[in-house]
Structure 1
């Protein structure tokens, strides 16, 4: 009862976080809010020594050339060495990249990240013989090896999957070229990351007498202002500055698509989409059906937009209104400590062990919480350091959305933690397709918990509205991004050269269709054409659709976690610990949801409409 009372009191007081709009210097932040990367390596010098050791150790891999298919014992030795070296290189890479993300202006760590890219490329060339040799194995020979060497079972999924992809692998010479090409294939993404985070001249703006630099964190903060003039000014200023560099952003994205097209042709795939999805054996129908289903349910999305218009009391809804508080004078603010308490309470349905590890993440400095000058924008969880623990990067600004983002990233962290504990490193790198399930399910649990505590109509509207915001941002917006990706990749594959101006037009037309611009549902101002240029996910090639599919999967699974049996919850936790021991669609079937059917999508649309019905009922009761 005490915790419940504190929760409601905190919400009614609308307490603020220590993260303010003016960015702090990193050294000014308390250590407890900064991740402890010394868990990876004590110092940069230790990192360098380990990198040099790995560089020497990896030369041993060449000694297995021509011997892999000779015996089960030799095959196991080679695979164990390969797994160990990759594990150690990934840990080295994690340290360098996270050090760089703390302050992207520090070129030392950018250089260290580039050294690791070169090391991976060097190792890829050194071991380019491996997969071509393995592909000469026949299934009956491989089965004999499994019988002779029991520990080879660890690599069974990898080896059988490799044989499945036989048609998309080349000779040793081809594989060596592909390995070396990795030095170039990531250039567009690297240039984008460096330019946007470290050198892009983020605009400065006067807001209510305060001079503010619109870096990504402040853009996210002020676009949620309850002052409509502030929102309009912030959007126009920020997107206007992006548009000044339209040609640069366009050249970067076009270069990235061409790199993907090169790999697609070299690997004998029909399309960049087919190549991206085949790595996890996901039918392209899953992608196309998502876009088809969302487009077929835009009326549900427009219902949400009309509801937002009603709640905000505006005659015309604009794109710059989409991040504003839904309920007047209910600006849900949370300190980090309040957010942590709410998150831990919301995770109780997943069991004591799950909650205890989550506490460790908060108490043992796994999280870099607040924005600071030069810090990478956004949020992520890095679970790649297999022998240590996952890390979370946040840019916490004290809003409900930040609390939701924190539990989202914690879901990723728990997924990584559980699979790293249960699986061998070779099977611990779970698919991106299932990666967003744990994170979005965490968000569902948080929303459910908050709604259980709150009876006040205004606050309840805000929490229900947050769920709709998640649906907007995760299901509809990410599917829009996926459709945009599909369009631009298809055009380049057909021989079209795309410029920043082309991307602008395609993006604006698509956004207007999704948001019902021509139906006067939501006005999409012309400057929104530049939004594509600051979205980093477009450099990941068909990544974003998985946010949407995961959202639908997690909706179905959250019902089982909250309302099902202990066995349902066990199946979910087993799923989190399964890594890459099966294809992702099969893992989700084991967890209790079948992505080959429309059921997860249908359940999600039904839930979205149910939430809107409750909100409309509350609004009517309030006389609005």
Structure 2
């Protein structure tokens, strides 16, 4: 969209249906007050969870009731806030739900210590006394698994009360990036002044005119440079709060604590980094080919995203994208397609950018139905983003539909599998119906971009996060200069000798919101590797593989993430899925070079 409209000017059919959560703010406020009453009821159970099976069951059942209500409250407040981060009304609602989270944590701080204090024999007797309690057995076992990391009730209450303060660095940077940060306009290839935002930057950096790409790159990163000390201070504060919690809970590192939330061994993270380093030659080979295909004497960082295939049009309307995604997932069966169609037709998606809207894309798995945020830009990248986020959405939908309340929220380790499997199926579909050489080359180039962006780039992010945390844990201050050098050096290592690593790219770390998500990004790379393997199983093995995959999608957190992927047929305890994916990356590079050979 050339003109960034105000939220009030957007066509409702391209906005998500928040009225499915609450018809108005008053109803939200009423439910918010009701949630506070349930919190008070939960606090009345203090000191009694080990008394009887019925007491423990009543508490956990009431906790489920609160969870369902908070899910609705949170989604309304956060979705309205993300529509327009400048709207003071929803800034307030967003703040209030964070305060509610703190109150819940404080009021229920007794829960974990009391459950841990129940002797095994007593707990076994509870299950016999009240069979309904068995639904919570997995939940109770997960709590007891972390026994050595759980503190006294008083200490747990203090940590819960500090959560709001601990989230401040992330909240500050989110407001700074989405509401306050503004960039100089960019003069496009036709001489027109165009607004540069976090959303439009993607289009500019893919422009076929190198001058436009460079101007957007410089405008964005030079602006980030002006605020580098603020960004570094916020990031360091985030790292320090995570160090505090890791230390308080007796973990050896922030990495160990973060991965333990999903019950994933740290070795999985380190295996990823090691495997990518062992296959780094594939990325260097791709960069060399990109330089050759663009016919540039010097390849710069702002040349990494522009299409290398000439004479192709990337304009893809939202309606076309929906049709392609729907047909691409046909191998997953009619049930899967029906859910996708429901999402398309019943306003699960907020489609276009508007002034103040949160940048990027995501899917939020509300129980009423998922909500998908896009900033759709009529290009192939947006088409794949649609496929990606709807993969998340259907994963959430099936988990909510299949699992009881305690197990609906799948762990972050498996979060990117369904989304990237959708992307892989879309790529296979588009390749299957493309016969001309140029069209196929264009799609393969995009496939390569996915590998580059999801495995290599996200692993580089993961390594930056790991190394910066290790620096802080060893007592080093994370100043802007320290972070810039670390990020710059990683770019040099990952992209190789056939590119000029521009100094400005050193600031890129300061615009990546996921660095405030506690070691989240590595899961894009592991998830993508698993998804590539799954997509091939689905296409090659048919119904048998589809049934296993759908069982995985409906698994929620009823098993550990590693076990869930084993249900689908993937073993992420090894580096094999990563190595196989990168081997495919290498073969696609060869095919692209052959297709575009003179």
Q: TM-score range by the shorter chain?
A: over 0.9
Quick check: 2:331–2:542 contact (8 Å CA) kept in 1? no
Structure 1 counterpart of 2:489:
509
Quick check: 2:221–2:505 contact (8 Å CA) kept in 1? yes
Please state if 1:570 is matched with 2:551. no
| Partner residue of 1:172 out of 147, 153, 173 | 153
Structure 1 counterpart of 2:182:
201
Structure 1 counterpart of 2:224:
242
Quick check: 2:421–2:532 contact (8 Å CA) kept in 1? yes
Structure 2 counterpart of 1:64:
45
> In structure 1, how many angstroms separate the alpha carbons of the residues matched to 2:11 and 2:94?
26
| Partner residue of 2:85 out of 104, 123, 143 | 104
Cα deviation digits, residues 369-398 of structure 1 (max 9, x gap): 000111110000000x22x00000000001
For residue 508 of structure 1, report the CA deviation from its aligned partner.
Answer: 0.7
Structure 1 counterpart of 2:453:
473
- Equivalence map 1:132-171=2 (5 Å): 132-171=113-152
Quick check: 1:325–1:331 contact (8 Å CA) kept in 2? no
TM-score after normalising by structure 1 = 0.94
For residue 555 of structure 1, report the CA deviation from its aligned partner.
Answer: 1.0
Structure 2 counterpart of 1:309:
291
| Partner residue of 1:30 out of 11, 19, 25 | 11
Quick check: 1:312–1:328 contact (8 Å CA) kept in 2? no
Structure 2 counterpart of 1:12:
none
Report the RMSD for the aligned CA atoms in angstroms. 1.1
| Partner residue of 2:246 out of 247, 261, 264 | 264
SS in 1 for 2:89: helix
Please state if 1:549 is matched with 2:529. no
TM-score after normalising by structure 2 = 0.98
Structure 2 counterpart of 1:10:
none
Structure 1 counterpart of 2:397:
417
Structure 2 counterpart of 1:579:
556
Please state if 1:608 is matched with 2:585. yes
For residue 107 of structure 1, report the CA deviation from its aligned partner.
Answer: 1.5
> In structure 2, how many angstroms separate the alpha carbons of the residues matched to 1:311 and 1:330?
14
Moved more, 457-466 or 21-30: 21-30
Moved more, 121-130 or 339-348: 121-130
Cα deviation digits, residues 198-235 of structure 1 (max 9, x gap): 11122223333211221111111111101111101110
| Partner residue of 1:453 out of 428, 433, 455 | 433
For residue 503 of structure 1, report the CA deviation from its aligned partner.
Answer: 1.1
For residue 22 of structure 1, report the CA deviation from its aligned partner.
Answer: 2.6
For residue 66 of structure 1, report the CA deviation from its aligned partner.
Answer: 1.3
Structure 2 counterpart of 1:407:
387
Structure 2 counterpart of 1:528:
505
Quick check: 2:272–2:575 contact (8 Å CA) kept in 1? no
SS in 1 for 2:289: helix
> In structure 1, how many angstroms separate the alpha carbons of the residues matched to 2:207 and 2:402?
44
| Partner residue of 1:233 out of 215, 224, 228 | 215
For residue 90 of structure 1, report the CA deviation from its aligned partner.
Answer: 2.5
Quick check: 2:402–2:555 contact (8 Å CA) kept in 1? yes
For residue 523 of structure 1, report the CA deviation from its aligned partner.
Answer: 1.4
Please state if 1:432 is matched with 2:412. yes
Aligned length: 597
SS in 1 for 2:297: coil
SS in 1 for 2:570: coil
> In structure 2, how many angstroms separate the alpha carbons of the residues matched to 1:46 and 1:121?
22
Quick check: 1:185–1:256 contact (8 Å CA) kept in 2? yes
> In structure 2, how many angstroms separate the alpha carbons of the residues matched to 1:144 and 1:582?
24
> In structure 1, how many angstroms separate the alpha carbons of the residues matched to 2:162 and 2:264?
25
Please state if 1:210 is matched with 2:189. no
Quick check: 1:342–1:446 contact (8 Å CA) kept in 2? yes
For residue 510 of structure 1, report the CA deviation from its aligned partner.
Answer: 1.1
Moved more, 577-586 or 76-85: 76-85
For residue 95 of structure 1, report the CA deviation from its aligned partner.
Answer: 0.8
> In structure 2, how many angstroms separate the alpha carbons of the residues matched to 1:152 and 1:554?
35
- Equivalence map 1:319-334=2 (5 Å): 319-334=301-316
Structure 2 counterpart of 1:540:
517
- Equivalence map 1:279-358=2 (5 Å): 279-358=261-340
- Equivalence map 1:373-412=2 (5 Å): 373-383=355-365, 385-386=366-367, 388-412=368-392
> In structure 1, how many angstroms separate the alpha carbons of the residues matched to 2:486 and 2:168?
24
Runs of 4+ in 1 over 6 A off after TM superposition: none
For residue 28 of structure 1, report the CA deviation from its aligned partner.
Answer: 2.6
Q: Which runs of 5+ in 1 are unaligned?
A: 1-19
Please state if 1:360 is matched with 2:337. no
SS in 2 for 1:64: coil
Quick check: 1:21–1:218 contact (8 Å CA) kept in 2? no
> In structure 2, how many angstroms separate the alpha carbons of the residues matched to 1:169 and 1:354?
40
Cα deviation digits, residues 383-423 of structure 1 (max 9, x gap): 0x22x000000000011010000100000000000000001
> In structure 1, how many angstroms separate the alpha carbons of the residues matched to 2:262 and 2:422?
24
For residue 608 of structure 1, report the CA deviation from its aligned partner.
Answer: 1.0
SS in 1 for 2:187: strand
Moved more, 294-303 or 200-209: 200-209
Please state if 1:119 is matched with 2:100. yes
| Partner residue of 1:592 out of 569, 583, 589 | 569
SS in 1 for 2:156: helix
For residue 613 of structure 1, report the CA deviation from its aligned partner.
Answer: 2.2
SS in 2 for 1:217: coil
For residue 311 of structure 1, report the CA deviation from its aligned partner.
Answer: 2.2
Moved more, 57-66 or 455-464: 57-66
> In structure 2, how many angstroms separate the alpha carbons of the residues matched to 1:446 and 1:144?
51
Quick check: 1:21–1:221 contact (8 Å CA) kept in 2? no
Structure 2 counterpart of 1:617:
594
Cα deviation digits, residues 229-254 of structure 1 (max 9, x gap): 11011101110111010011111101
Quick check: 1:132–1:171 contact (8 Å CA) kept in 2? yes
SS in 2 for 1:381: strand
Moved more, 241-250 or 208-217: 208-217
